[in-house]
């Protein structure tokens, strides 16, 4: 009965939670069988525990992924609401960079748009969480330099701890003191008009395909916001009548008045202008 006592002690420790133990089996009798069975049950528990652990880890990762997408979708709803409410383009763009940083759960985002009176140069007045003072001053000349060519050719550039990138990208990283980044061009009617740069300084970070796809969706909303603003500007420029009263607006009257004064001078005729003020 000696081996049974030993086995009982060992089995108690295993059942108590110490799965590293196993009972020693000697002989091919019933006691040997019992030992085998106990060891088999122990192995099974160990296997289950490992499976449960990996399930837990996977569930955690999937939850992060799903949270990212839920956040992305609700952000896109909010951005869409702003675009459709004809919010100021700057406000929409600000929302876009903020939301990207939130969805990526780290780092910063910058939106480069044409400089006033220097359309071929893109500057970033709209950014979120940029702590790198030098980077915030970065200007992109369309067609020149690594980002300038990327925007001109509608190419995605990215660098992280896994991606293989060119020497030029690595020099760019060094020059501007940045670590992981991805850029997306803002192209309107085949014309490059901006760039979205998303980055962070995390160690061992990798942009997943999903991340790049997500950022692309946001970049596309920036294109839509840009174009909506352009259309509104064009309407303002080309409109000659007041929307509400359907009367000619000031811009048109001044242009026509110019013509009429020239005509009156040419024909040597008087020219009068009557202004009614109806309150």
**Site of interaction with its own copies (CB under 8 A):** 1, 4-5, 7-9, 11-12, 14-15, 30-31, 33-34, 36-38, 40-42, 44-45, 48-49, 51-52, 55-56, 58-59, 62-63, 65-66, 69-70, 72-74, 76-77, 80-81, 83-86, 188-189, 210, 213-214, 216-217, 220-221, 223-224, 227-228, 231-232, 234-235, 238-241
User: Nearest approach, Cβ of 130 to its own copies (angstroms)?
Assistant: 25
CA distance 161 to 133: 23
User: Nearest approach, Cβ of 201 to its own copies (angstroms)?
Assistant: 26
Contact 76, 221 (CB under 8 A): yes
Nearer CB in complex with its own copies: 171/236: 236
User: Nearest approach, Cβ of 177 to its own copies (angstroms)?
Assistant: 32
User: Nearest approach, Cβ of 253 to its own copies (angstroms)?
Assistant: 14
Nearer CB in complex with its own copies: 4/261: 4
Contact 195, 112 (CB under 8 A): yes
User: Nearest approach, Cβ of 202 to its own copies (angstroms)?
Assistant: 23
Nearer CB in complex with its own copies: 2/167: 2
Nearer CB in complex with its own copies: 135/151: 151
CA distance 248 to 256: 10
User: Nearest approach, Cβ of 77 to its own copies (angstroms)?
Assistant: 5
Nearer CB in complex with its own copies: 162/191: 191
CA distance 141 to 99: 26
Cα angle: 183, vertex 189, 193; to 5 degrees: 40
Nearer CB in complex with its own copies: 138/214: 214
User: Nearest approach, Cβ of 266 to its own copies (angstroms)?
Assistant: 12
Nearer CB in complex with its own copies: 30/133: 30
268 sits in the region (left: phi over 0; alpha: psi -120 to 50; else beta) called left
Contact 162, 141 (CB under 8 A): no
């Amino acid at each position: 009965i000696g081996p049974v006592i030993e086995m009982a002690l060992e089995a108690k420790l295993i059942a108590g939670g110490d799965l590293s133990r196993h009972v020693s089996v000697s002989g091919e009798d019933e006691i040997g069988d019992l030992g085998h069975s106990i060891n088999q049950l122990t192995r099974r528990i160990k296997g289950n525990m490992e499976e449960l652990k990996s399930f837990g880890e996977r569930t955690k990762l999937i939850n992060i992924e799903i949270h990212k997408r839920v956040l992305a979708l609700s952000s896109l709803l909010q951005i869409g609401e702003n675009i459709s409410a004809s919010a100021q383009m700057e406000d929409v763009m600000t929302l876009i960079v903020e939301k990207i940083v939130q969805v990526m759960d780290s780092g910063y985002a910058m939106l480069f748009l044409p400089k006033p009176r220097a359309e071929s140069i893109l500057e970033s007045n709209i950014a979120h969480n940029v702590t790198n003072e030098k980077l915030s001053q970065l200007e992109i000349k369309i067609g020149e330099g690594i980002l300038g060519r990327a925007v001109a050719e509608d190419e995605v550039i990215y660098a992280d701890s896994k991606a293989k990138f060119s020497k030029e990208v690595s020099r760019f990283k060094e020059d501007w003191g940045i670590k992981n980044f991805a850029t997306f061009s803002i192209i309107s009617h085949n014309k490059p008009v901006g760039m979205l740069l998303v980055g962070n300084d995390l160690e061992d970070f990798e942009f997943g395909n999903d991340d790049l796809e997500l950022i692309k969706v946001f970049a596309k909303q920036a294109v839509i916001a840009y174009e909506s603003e352009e259309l509104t500007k064009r309407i303002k420029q080309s409109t000659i009548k007041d929307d509400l009263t359907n009367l000619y607006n000031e811009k048109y009257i001044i242009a026509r008045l110019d013509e009429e004064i020239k005509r009156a001078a040419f024909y040597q005729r008087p020219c009068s202008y009557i202004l009614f003020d109806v309150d």
